[in-house]
């Protein structure tokens, strides 16, 4: 049904009421003149009609902007949303964990959620953005879509990878560079030549940051067959590419002398004590470590550690020394944490998660003290929690008992704060040993143990 007041008539009525009837008298629209009360002033009825017309007929319907592809894809993620008990535990963890520990603990929490086959609630994504970015290799479709929604127009990399649930040989070039680097590294573990061929197939079409990430993946399975490709990069247009290629070529040259380097690295470990120990029949606890760095500056000593232990496999080194891998790790003093990390990096580059966890377990069960900064770097390397048997040994070890006792005996609020030993240990615990882990926190105040308990609650609330 057509309105009796057309837009032009309404505009004239509205202007009269705004300016005042004395300045601009009313003009009654002819279509409604016969409908108004005769012999009476029409101002009030016309005012009511004009107001109703503006309310119901005059307002234009708002035009909704089309939904972005990323917004649609965010809700098309097939993974179930985090169950409500786990979501409450995650939100509690974000509030309870120390700000200085959040960049280490929360990415590990997201990794546990990803491993359980879940995704964060969409409403929680804004608070988790920094930690989602830090967990780049484990981002699911919902996380990638949200990062694309909030990305700046200049961030082309964030808008990639929204059309596929998982990365494959057919779609790997559509993903962000972190996922592409991880994918090429996985291909290199299976077949180094195939992984290198993937890089070469897109090399000329990619910008320098992407090429640098892909080139870094050559560290996995690096060998003499990669040398011609790396040497061809000496004329690359980006200095960053030239530097990475030169470092990889140096690593190839060092690996060509693997026998000599392995012998030199093994000589840093010495058997001391009884005659039986010296001939290899004594206790493995007699092994000591000493880096031949007397008179070297700090930078020179670090370069020596990198040359001797970079890319070296733990089992090969333990075999050359003649001790078990656990005894080798126990021989490393806390000051040689860099050597430990190099051994872990070598295992991680080969996808050997078992060796990474073996190193972590040996370090946690041995030694005299447990420090938050050391546990932070160890936990970051773990792609999965410790085995239940190893976790049980850690919880009854003197090192863990001493850490709990030190926090329980602290007399000042600052000394009672978790420096990372509790919440990061929770990140390493498997589900089966979480109740035992929580039980070890009994001597501590609620404030000290709160973040660790929140992490434990999250793991226990995740689907099995």
Give the tens place of pLDDT for each residue, 227-242.
999 999 888 888 889 9
From the list 335, 328, 314, the residue with the least C-alpha distance to 284 is: 328
- On whether both 228 and 302 belong to a single domain, the answer is no
pLDDT computed for residue 410 by the predictor: 85
Q: What is the pLDDT of residue 83?
A: 95
Residue 359 sits in the same domain as residue 400: yes
CA distance 147 to 151: 6
Q: Are residues 237 and 287 in the same domain?
A: no
Per-residue pLDDT at 151: 77
pLDDT digits (tens, 9 = 90+) for 125-135: 999 999 998 88
Spans of the chain, pLDDT less than 70: 1-4, 57-67, 152-163, 257-258, 272-285, 367-368
- The pTM (predicted TM-score) of the whole model is 0.74
Same-domain status, 375 and 464: yes
Please report whether residue 133 resides in a domain: no
Whether 71 is in a domain gets the answer: no
Q: Mark whether 357 and 421 lie in a shared domain.
A: yes
Give the pLDDT score at 462.
Answer: 95
Note whether 269 and 233 are same-domain residues.
no
pLDDT the model gives residue 158: 58
**Whether residue 219 is found in the same domain as residue 270:** no
Q: Indicate whether 66 belongs to any domain.
A: no
Claim to verify: residue 241 and residue 162 sit in the same structural domain: yes
Are residues 372 and 464 both part of a single domain? yes
Residue 274 has what pLDDT? 45
In terms of residue numbers, what domain contains 40?
7-58
Tally of structural domains, the chain? 4
Asked if the structure places residue 131 within a domain, the reply is no
Answer yes or no: do 275 and 189 share one domain. no
323 and 283, same domain (yes or no): yes
* Residue at 346 is within a domain: no
């Amino acid at each position: 049904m057509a309105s009796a007041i057309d837009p032009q008539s309404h505009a004239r009525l509205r202007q009269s009421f705004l300016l005042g009837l004395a300045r601009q008298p009313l003009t009654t629209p002819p279509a409604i003149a016969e409908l108004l009360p005769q012999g009476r002033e029409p101002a009030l009825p016309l005012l009511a009609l004009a107001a109703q017309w503006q309310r119901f007929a005059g307002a234009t319907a708002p035009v909704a902007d089309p939904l972005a592809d990323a917004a649609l894809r965010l809700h098309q993620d097939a993974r179930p949303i985090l169950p409500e008990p786990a979501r409450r535990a995650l939100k509690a963890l974000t509030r309870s964990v120390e700000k200085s520990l959040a960049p280490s603990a929360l990415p590990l929490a997201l990794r546990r959620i990803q491993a359980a086959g879940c995704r964060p609630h969409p409403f929680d994504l804004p608070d988790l953005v920094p930690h989602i970015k830090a967990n780049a290799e484990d981002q699911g479709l919902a996380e990638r879509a949200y990062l694309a929604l909030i990305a700046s127009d200049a961030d082309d990399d964030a808008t990639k990878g929204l059309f596929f649930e998982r990365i494959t040989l057919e779609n790997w070039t559509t993903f962000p560079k972190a996922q592409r680097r991880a994918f090429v590294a996985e291909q290199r573990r299976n077949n180094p030549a195939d992984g290198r061929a993937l890089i070469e197939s897109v090399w000329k079409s990619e910008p320098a940051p992407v090429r640098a990430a892909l080139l870094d993946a050559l560290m996995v399975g690096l060998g003499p067959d990669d040398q011609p490709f790396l040497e061809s990069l000496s004329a690359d247009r980006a200095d960053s590419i030239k530097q990475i290629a030169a470092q990889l070529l140096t690593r190839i040259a060092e690996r060509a002398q693997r026998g000599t380097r392995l012998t030199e690295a093994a000589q840093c470990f010495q058997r001391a004590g009884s005659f039986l120990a010296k001939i290899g029949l004594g206790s493995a606890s007699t092994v000591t470590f000493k880096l031949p760095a007397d008179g070297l500056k700090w930078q020179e000593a670090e370069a020596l550690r990198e040359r001797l232990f970079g890319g070296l496999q733990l089992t090969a080194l333990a075999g050359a020394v003649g001790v078990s891998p656990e005894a080798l790790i126990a021989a490393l003093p806390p000051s040689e944490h860099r050597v430990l990390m190099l051994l872990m990096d070598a295992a991680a580059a080969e996808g050997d998660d078992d060796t990474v966890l073996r190193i972590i377990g040996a370090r946690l069960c041995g030694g005299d003290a447990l420090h938050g900064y050391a546990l932070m770097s160890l936990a970051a390397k773990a792609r999965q929690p410790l085995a239940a048997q190893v976790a049980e040994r850690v919880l009854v070890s003197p090192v863990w008992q001493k850490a709990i006792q030190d926090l329980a005996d602290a007399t000042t609020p600052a000394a009672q704060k978790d420096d990372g030993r509790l919440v990061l240990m929770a990140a390493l615990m498997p589900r089966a040993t979480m109740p035992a882990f929580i039980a070890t926190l009994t001597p501590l105040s609620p404030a000290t143990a709160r973040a660790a308990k929140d992490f434990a609650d999250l793991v226990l609330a995740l689907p099995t």
